[in-house]
């Protein structure tokens, strides 16, 4: 952490002298003559320390301490006091001040205090970040369901990319959950409070595409009755999700590329340039670079969109997730339709695990809704070998047993009647880790 110090003192000579001491010692210093200005500059996760005089016109140091404590109780505040204010400063420490220094003080005394305070602040912020990460992992696991290695890896990639401003390209089959992943990238990042705008590029007629994306002014073309804000401008400050990006007309690809390069746009019929700050998440089924080589997509735009690429596994590659997902969709459909829900039995689970699921998660959700309504025959296996079906069923049985026993290997061995070596080999083959199922990380 780069050391940051906010120094508040109404005497310019003291501010300048302290700034020189601190900057010579490698600290980054910001000066304030008024406590109100410092308070406005401090954010909840400010990575530094506030050093403030006590006696000042307007808001004094004690009032500033109280306001900062309300903003962040763990923010270190060091008070500078005159000789007669020591009793007051001691009282302030009981209210949460980190320390106080009596004027005149030596540079060494201030630097020593700052070093300890900054180290404390670093540890506090690291701990907060760790807790946020754990909370985000739990929240994301409730939205992007699954325990298969591919989904666990995808959730980790989302949490790694969500805080960054980079554009992301999603690769996945129809129904694999690309829009859900795009929303998670938005919701778990700093743009969460701004707009998330989704646009399916294949669903818009080519003659309307430019107006839909860039917007237009009244009279820009025949039928333009009034001003329209386009999707790019509407997503300003947030995230624009462009689904089936491979369907975007080539003429619009050129214009989108320019907007991404310049971070500005002009509505149709307008000469006003509008600054943009947005993130693009695009989704595609084919490889955009292969599309570019075939002349159907601009290579420069493909590179601009594909700063980071996430691959969404098809449902057939994550069969151990099918029971969990199906139960979830059954519960959702039952609540929405006001119908009772019956958990699937072993025979039904075998049917679900054996099906090819060409429509992926969307098809599974549809099957759950039909089941709640009592409609249609269950899906049957399509082109999957018996070995594949048995592997998927074995993985689900192992995972269920591990979950029931909290990762206790001996209990799982007894229930499944497996020797330890065989159980270990099967767990390794299916990517199952004991720690994922234990209530704690302590050994038996």
pLDDT in tens, 307-357: 999 999 999 989 889 999 999 999 999 999 999 998 888 778 888 888 889
From residue 101, alpha-carbon distances to 78, 79, 192 in Å are 8, 6, 42
Residues 78, 96 within the same domain: yes
pLDDT score at 103:
83
Within 10 angstroms of residue 389's Cβ, the number of other Cβ atoms is 17
Mutual orientation of helices 149-161 and 107-143 as an angle, nearest 10°? Answer: 140
Residue 79 tokens, joined? 């008070």
Specify whether the CB–CB gap between 52 and 9 falls below 8 A: yes
Asked if the structure places residue 261 within a domain, the reply is yes
What does the alpha-carbon distance between residue 412 and residue 353 come to, in Å, rounded to a whole number?
22
pLDDT score at 3:
59
* Nearest alpha carbon to residue 312 among 185, 429, 188, 132: 185
pLDDT tens digits along 379-389: 554 545 666 66
Residue 406 tokens, joined? 């909290």
Residue 373 tokens, joined? 């309504």
Asked if the structure places residue 114 within a domain, the reply is yes
pLDDT score at 386:
65
What does the alpha-carbon distance between residue 396 and residue 321 come to, in Å, rounded to a whole number?
8
From residue 2, alpha-carbon distances to 118, 244, 366, 379 in Å are 9, 43, 52, 59
Angle (nearest 5°) at CA 412 between 407 and 416: 150
Residues 94, 164 within the same domain: no
Q: In terms of DSSP bridges, do strands 4-8 and 49-53 run parallel, antiparallel, or are they unpaired?
A: parallel
pLDDT higher than threshold 50 for residue 102? yes
pLDDT higher than threshold 70 for residue 147? yes
End-to-end CA distance of the chain: 39
- The mean per-residue pLDDT over the stretch 47-65 comes to 91
Residues 418, 434 within the same domain: yes
Can you give the CATH number for the domain in which 28 is found? 3.40.50.2300
Residues 245, 319 within the same domain: no
Residues 176, 292 within the same domain: yes
Asked if the structure places residue 13 within a domain, the reply is yes
Asked if the structure places residue 217 within a domain, the reply is yes
Last residue of a domain, one of 341, 369, 384: 384
Residues 193, 275 within the same domain: yes
Can you say how many angstroms the Cα of residue 246 is from the centroid of all Cα atoms in its chain? 25
What does the alpha-carbon distance between residue 76 and residue 147 come to, in Å, rounded to a whole number?
42
To the nearest 5 percent, what fractions of the chain are helix, strand and coil? Answer: 50, 15, 35
Asked if the structure places residue 132 within a domain, the reply is no
Residues 159, 297 within the same domain: yes
Residues 179, 238 within the same domain: yes
Q: Of 119-123, 159-163, 346-350, where does mean pLDDT reach its minimum? A: 346-350
Strand (E) positions, 67-191?
77-81, 99-102, 168-171
Residues 112, 166 within the same domain: no
Residues 325, 307 within the same domain: no
Asked if the structure places residue 141 within a domain, the reply is no
pLDDT score at 272:
85
* Nearest alpha carbon to residue 343 among 390, 334, 364, 148: 334
- The mean per-residue pLDDT over the stretch 287-315 comes to 93
- The mean per-residue pLDDT over the stretch 410-430 comes to 88
Q: For residue 104, say if its preceding peptide bond is cis, omega within 30 degrees of 0.
A: yes
- The mean per-residue pLDDT over the stretch 187-200 comes to 93
Asked if the structure places residue 27 within a domain, the reply is yes
Last residue of a domain, one of 290, 313, 336: 313
Three-class SS state of 435: helix
Residues 104, 17 within the same domain: yes
Could you tell me the residue range of the domain that residue 244 belongs to?
Answer: 146-313
Mean pLDDT of the residues in the chain: 87
- Total number of domains constituting the chain: 4
Specify whether the CB–CB gap between 349 and 390 falls below 8 A: no
Residue 172 tokens, joined? 């996945």
Q: Of 4-13, 215-224, 293-302, where does mean pLDDT reach its minimum? A: 215-224
Residue with tokens 């700063």: 307
**% of the chain at pLDDT higher than 70:** 92
- Give 444's pLDDT tier (boundaries 50, 70, 90): very low
Last residue of a domain, one of 256, 278, 313: 313
Q: Of 83-97, 122-136, 173-187, where does mean pLDDT reach its minimum? A: 83-97
pLDDT score at 84:
64
pLDDT higher than threshold 70 for residue 247? yes
Can you give the CATH number for the domain in which 351 is found? 1.10.8.60
The residue among 382 and 402 whose pLDDT is bigger is: 402
Angle (nearest 5°) at CA 237 between 233 and 239: 80
pLDDT score at 128:
85
What does the alpha-carbon distance between residue 270 and residue 265 come to, in Å, rounded to a whole number?
10
- The mean per-residue pLDDT over the stretch 107-111 comes to 89
- The mean per-residue pLDDT over the stretch 86-113 comes to 83
Asked if the structure places residue 79 within a domain, the reply is yes
pLDDT score at 34:
94
Strand (E) positions, 142-202?
168-171, 196-200
Residue 171 tokens, joined? 């690769």
pLDDT higher than threshold 80 for residue 214? yes
pLDDT higher than threshold 90 for residue 226? no
User: In degrees rounded to 5, what are phi and psi of residue 315?
Assistant: -65, -35
* CB contact set of 82 (below 8 Å; sequence gap of 6+): 54, 55, 102, 103
Specify whether the CB–CB gap between 397 and 346 falls below 8 A: no
- Give 83's pLDDT tier (boundaries 50, 70, 90): low
pLDDT score at 293:
93
Mutual orientation of helices 61-71 and 86-94 as an angle, nearest 10°? Answer: 10
Angle (nearest 5°) at CA 402 between 397 and 407: 165
The residue among 44 and 360 whose pLDDT is bigger is: 360
Residues 121, 157 within the same domain: no
Residue 211 tokens, joined? 């107006």
DSSP notation for 328-349: HHHHHHHHHHT-------HHHH
pLDDT score at 440:
33
């Amino acid at each position: 952490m780069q050391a940051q110090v906010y120094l508040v003192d109404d005497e310019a000579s003291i501010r300048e002298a302290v700034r020189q001491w601190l900057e010579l010692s490698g600290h980054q210093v910001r000066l304030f003559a008024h406590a109100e200005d410092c308070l406005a500059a401090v954010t909840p996760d400010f990575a530094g320390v506030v050093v403030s005089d006590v006696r000042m016109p307007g808001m004094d140091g004690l009032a500033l301490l109280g306001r900062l404590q309300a903003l962040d109780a763990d923010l270190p505040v060091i008070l500078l006091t005159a000789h007669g204010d020591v009793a007051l400063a001691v009282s302030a420490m009981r209210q949460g001040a980190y320390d106080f220094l009596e004027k005149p003080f030596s540079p060494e005394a201030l630097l020593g205090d700052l070093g300890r305070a900054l180290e404390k602040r670093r540890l506090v912020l690291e701990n907060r970040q760790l807790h946020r990460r754990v909370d985000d992992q739990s929240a994301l696991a409730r939205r992007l369901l699954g325990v298969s290695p591919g989904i666990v890896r995808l959730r980790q990639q989302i949490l790694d990319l969500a805080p960054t401003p980079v554009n992301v390209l999603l690769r996945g089959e129809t129904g694999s959950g690309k829009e859900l992943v795009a929303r998670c990238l938005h919701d778990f990042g700093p743009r969460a409070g701004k707009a998330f705008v989704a646009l399916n590029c294949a669903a818009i007629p080519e003659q309307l595409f430019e107006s839909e994306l860039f917007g237009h002014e009244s009279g820009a073309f025949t039928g333009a009755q009034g001003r329209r804000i386009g999707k790019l401008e509407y997503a300003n400050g947030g995230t624009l999700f462009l689904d089936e990006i491979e369907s975007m007309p080539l003429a619009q690809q050129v214009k989108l590329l320019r907007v991404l390069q310049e971070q500005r746009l002009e509505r149709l019929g307008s000469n006003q340039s509008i600054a943009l700050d947005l993130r693009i998440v695009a989704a595609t089924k084919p490889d955009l670079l292969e599309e570019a080589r075939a002349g159907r997509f601009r290579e420069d735009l493909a590179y601009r969109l594909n700063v980071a690429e996430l691959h969404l596994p098809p449902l057939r590659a994550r069969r151990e997730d099918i029971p969990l997902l199906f139960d979830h969709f059954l519960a959702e459909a039952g609540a929405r339709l006001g119908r009772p829900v019956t958990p699937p039995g072993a025979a039904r689970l075998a049917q679900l695990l054996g099906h090819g699921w060409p429509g992926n998660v969307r098809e599974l959700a549809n099957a759950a809704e039909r089941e709640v309504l009592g409609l249609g025959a269950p899906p049957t296996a399509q082109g999957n070998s018996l070995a594949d079906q048995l592997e998927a069923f074995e993985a689900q049985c192992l995972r269920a047993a591990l979950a029931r026993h909290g990762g206790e290997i001996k209990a799982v061995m007894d229930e499944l009647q497996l020797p330890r070596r065989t159980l270990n080999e099967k767990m390794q083959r299916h990517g199952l880790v004991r720690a994922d199922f234990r209530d704690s990380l302590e050994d038996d």
